[in-house]
Each structure stands twice: as C-alpha cells, then as structure tokens.
Amino acid sequence: MKHLAVALLLCALPSVIHTACYAKEIKSDMTHCVDDTDGTWHAVGSSWRNSRCRDCGCGGCCDAYSEPRKFPDDCVAEMDWKACVYRVHKKDDPSVECPIYASVG
C-alpha cells in the first residue's frame, strides 16, 4: 500500500522533461557507423544501447534514463550503469528506497 501511495504521488506531480541527445550526420554512402563512447561499429539503420546508457543509432544518441532532482535530504541518488537507472536510497541504509519527487530525462 505504501508503494501505491508513492506511485500515485509521483504521477500527480508535474515533471521537468529534458532529454540529453546529440545528432550525427549520416552520409549517403555510409554502411556502418561507430559509437563514439564504446568504439563499436554498427550497421546504418540499427539501434543499440551503449555502456553510458544512451540509446543510439547512426544518427545520434539520447540518454536512456532520467536523473532524480528532488528527493528527501537524507537520501542519495546513485547511477546503476548496468540497469541504466538511478537508485535513490537512504544515505545511512542503502536497503531503504526513497521517493523521487522530480526528475530530468
């Protein structure tokens, strides 16, 4: 029941929408492109998620996560790069999750 109340509260709050994206030029003769972060090659028209949690295509990338901006002062936000999500928890007890009131992304 506690989680349901937090979920309803989060849905009722206005959020700040911002997505970090960048574009790259695709030349007409290109068949592959390189991911600037990982150095991996990909076919034009394909899509992938790189190690910095960005959803990419040869035309550019966008962040695949939102960054918490408002949460209780006794909590801390830590990025989980494997799951591509921020985890917000109590500073003195990482097993206790905290509510997020606003995020960007």
Residue 22's pLDDT is what? 92
According to CATH, where is 2.10.70 located in the chain? 19-63
Of all helices (H) and strands (E), which one includes residue 61? strand 60-63
Are the C-beta atoms of residues 10 and 98 closer than 8 Å to each other? no
Least confident interval from 18-22, 61-65, 83-87: 18-22
Q: Domain spanning 67-104: which CATH class is it, in words?
A: mainly beta
According to CATH, where is 2.20.25.590 located in the chain? 67-104
84-88: average pLDDT = 96
Residue 59's pLDDT is what? 97
How confident is the model over 9-62, as pLDDT tens digits?
Answer: 344 433 334 458 999 999 999 999 999 999 999 999 999 999 999 999 999 999
Could you tell me which CATH number the domain at 19-63 has? 2.10.70
Residue 15's pLDDT is what? 39
Better-predicted residue by pLDDT, 4 or 32: 32
4 in helix, strand or coil?
A: helix
